[in-house]
Amino acid sequence: MSNADKTDVVIVGSGFGGSIPAYHLAAGGAKVTVLERGPWLAAADFEHDYLLGSSYTRAFDFVVGDGMSVLGGNCVGGGSVVYFAAMPRAPKFVFERHGSIGRRMWPKAISRDSLEPWYDRVDESIPVSKQDWSDVSYAGGLWAAACNHSGRTANPAPVAVDNDTCVNCNFMMAGCKFDAKRSMLTNYLPAALSHGAEIRPLHEVQRLERTEDGGYRVHFDIVDEEDYRVHTGTGVIEAKIVIIAAGAGATPVILQRSEAALGTMPHGVGRYFSGNGERLNTAIIDEDRVREVLGLSREDGPIYSANHIGKGPTVANWDKLDGSLPEYERYSLEQLYFPPGLGTILAQVPGGEEPRWFGAEKKEILKKWANWLTIFLMTEDDNEGVFGTPPPTGNAYRISQQMLGRGSLRYDPTTNTRRGWALADADCKAIIEKDGIGTVAPWTNDVVGAYTVHPLASCRIGDDPATSALYANHELRNHPGIFVTDSSAVPGALTVNPAMTIAALAERSVPSIVRAAQARGIDVKYGAPAPDGSITGRRAVSKLDLVAGN
């Protein structure tokens, strides 16, 4: 292996969890190599369609498990390229959750207050826009009016979107053609490249092993750019530090496959997976009742018929984000645009006996697709997901050329999880069906099981070795020099969109990674400004006690 490539730090994955340490370590002087299994797509490559073989299928990874399916990113920039850019901060009660283990899941070193300056740093680096009502979409406005009519509140969601550039095309889930969505392609990654970081697309990491000097050897396959089932080559790269940020559906699989060479993995690797308690409801809106009951109108054209106009989620109901409520009774209800494809397949016809996701009645509601309103429920689950034996390569057995795979995740929702879903479903129904504004039903679980676009916790941080895979500083237990900084490190469901918290935790992890790199002889420093040159967040963070584990 003497001819293997060598670098200081290998980062596996280029989403929030990979891009953020890539920037800081490269800016601090380390030689950084990022291995990304997906293609490198720029704004000009994002297509305004949802056809097979377009950017839609090239940039996504949809893995069907047993009882749970996971939709994630598969491109340079990872999930940040295909997310809807909602960036709320997690409520304080989240950090005190006990969940299925009956005691605090989060490390004692982390609370909402201690994470606040790291949130601030992400806020200035991306940056995050504080929307007002003039920024929300038609669908968001309708959801806000329905909430108000039923005695609830509604709030414009903070988003990583440049509203001056956004054209409200609603194609942001397949990547933003106008660079209005602030993905990692617009901030941390170009900043990392400017400091010498190397990004290698279509490099799928398979496993790790130790080198004779205590570093790590990273084995990867090179993936064909059109047919992801085809591997066109293999390779090896050695590093003193490895950061795994391949996503909650892939990070534990890489570690499981590495166990034969590295030795026993912590119990938490591949266990305690959370789908962020997610569920979707589809409402079929009655135009006449919207006019009569809510008093809404447009100068020309239909009253609503605008499901497809706007940008992802713009308005949320947060009335149940109340720390005084018991666990599993806390959730958010967020208006969400979900494009044709899975959304039109999994949506059920409201009323009657389930399942009603196919047949003549389904055909009729599909004709009214522009009058749909999709509501995204984020509840508290029991971290009941477990990964089985890893496939020979990758995170799943590839079924199609792109996007679709069959994975080893098993997920059997507990009574607690189902109760949270039921409460949120009932609340959504009460809002939408009050005075006949519309009819609503949750998506079916009969086709692909439960589903999540925000997988979490499959390799989580914590203080208890029996129920966590990582120390509080994100280092893999009993495997020094390996860090995990992606969504898999988040201990459990957040009741809101998790991107902001994933990014804040990644920011928080960097000082400890820098210290570990220094101890291994890497000439690197911590202290680079935010990617746009701002220093406010850096000054706030510098006031913290940056010792290992804090």
pLDDT per residue of the chain (550 residues) written in tens, 0 to 9: 446 799 999 999 999 999 999 999 999 999 999 999 999 999 999 998 888 889 989 999 999 999 999 999 999 999 999 999 999 999 999 999 999 999 999 999 999 999 999 999 999 999 999 999 999 999 999 999 999 999 999 999 999 999 999 999 999 888 999 999 999 999 999 999 999 999 999 999 999 999 999 999 999 999 999 999 999 999 999 999 999 999 999 999 999 999 999 999 999 999 999 999 999 999 999 999 999 999 998 877 789 999 999 988 999 999 999 999 999 999 999 999 988 888 889 999 998 776 788 888 999 999 999 999 999 999 999 999 999 999 999 999 999 999 999 999 999 999 999 999 999 999 999 999 999 999 999 999 989 999 999 999 999 999 999 999 999 999 999 999 999 999 999 999 999 999 999 999 999 999 999 999 999 999 999 999 989 877 766 666 665 434 334 4
Q: Name the residue with tokens 């998790």.
A: 498
Question: DSSP letters along 235-264, please?
Answer: EEEEESEEEE-S-TTTHHHHHHHHHHHH-P
What's the rounded Cα separation, in Å, for the pair 525 and 26? 9
What's the rounded Cα separation, in Å, for the pair 345 and 230? 29
Domains of the chain (ranges; CATH) run 5-520 (3.50.50.60)
* Residues forming beta bridges with residue 33, ordered by sequence position: 10, 198
82 three-class SS = helix
Tell me the HSE value of 72 on the side-chain side, using a 13 A CA sphere. 32
Q: 53-80 b/e with 16+ CB inside 10 Å = b?
A: ebbbbbbbbbbbbbbbbbbbbbbbbbbb
pTM assigned to the model: 0.96
Phi, psi of 503 (to 5 degrees): -65, -40
The three-point CA angle 16-22-45 to 5° equals: 60
What's the rounded Cα separation, in Å, for the pair 42 and 192? 16
